[in-house]
Amino acid sequence: MEYIVVRDPTAVARYAADMIEGEITSNGGILLGLAGGSTPRSTYEELAGRSIDWSDTTAWMTDGRWVPPDHDDANQKMVRESLVGPTDVSFLAPDTTIGSVRESADAFSERIVPLALSSSRSIVLLGIGADGHTASLFPGSPALAYDGVRYVDNYVERLGVWRLTATFDLLATAHVVVFLVTGSAKAPIVASIAAGADVPSAHVTARERVLWLLDEAAASGL
């Protein structure tokens, strides 16, 4: 487990933004997978505040909740507010207004999979839940067993909700995956994974490296 520990959430956001800005600058544009939840918002806001040429970059939502795109719980709403709106970066997210969750996942697969397989430089940002889930790959959920580079629907029994998520194989097309983890509430799961816990986040791979970017609170159990 490769990790970098920085002081606090602001330092995580700045470090992550530096990494992404550097990737864009040195590659002339990237495919950028974005995490949902609350942690990454500060990274997106940090990126939006910088003078970055986004014209050859495409961002995409690594998972979504089965809610309308403008719902307060929608990951894509948070991303549009914090990054896409201010920068006008090209952004792909599942259309949760069409038919069924399966139709939405299949339609999004058709858009993102060709890009993921052909991208010359792909970076994915992920978060982690206290139960070890990442994206919407939750412990015990059906999608953990889905192979293939694709986007799928996934019923999360514990929450009683449908989600949409990249499969492990789709996440693994990234050259680099960066987990953004802050706060003492995440310290136990971070320590568990470092000790070998079998949770979804521990099964994420990448073509080059998987980096855990932690603040001191989240790293306090290491």
CB atoms within 10 A of CB 155: 15
27 or 146: CB nearest ligand 6PG:
146
Q: How far is the CB of 165 from ligand 6PG (least distance, A)?
A: 8
Q: How far is the CB of 210 from ligand 6PG (least distance, A)?
A: 15
Residues 163 and 144: their CA atoms lie apart, in Å, by 13
Q: How far is the CB of 62 from ligand 6PG (least distance, A)?
A: 7
31 or 35: CB nearest ligand 6PG:
35
Sign of the Cα pseudo-torsion (64, 68, 72, 78, in order): positive
Q: How far is the CB of 12 from ligand 6PG (least distance, A)?
A: 11
**Which tokens go with 19?**
């990494």
36 or 94: CB nearest ligand 6PG:
36
The contacts of residue 49 (CB under 8 Å, 6+ apart) are 86
Which residues of this protein are in contact with ligand 6PG, per CB under 6 A? 35-39, 63, 65, 75, 127-129, 133-136
Closest CA to 8 of 39, 48, 51: 39
39 or 58: CB nearest ligand 6PG:
39
76 or 119: CB nearest ligand 6PG:
76
- Chain-centre distance for alpha carbon 100: 23
Q: How far is the CB of 75 from ligand 6PG (least distance, A)?
A: 5
**Which tokens go with 110?**
């058709």
**Which tokens go with 10?**
């602001």
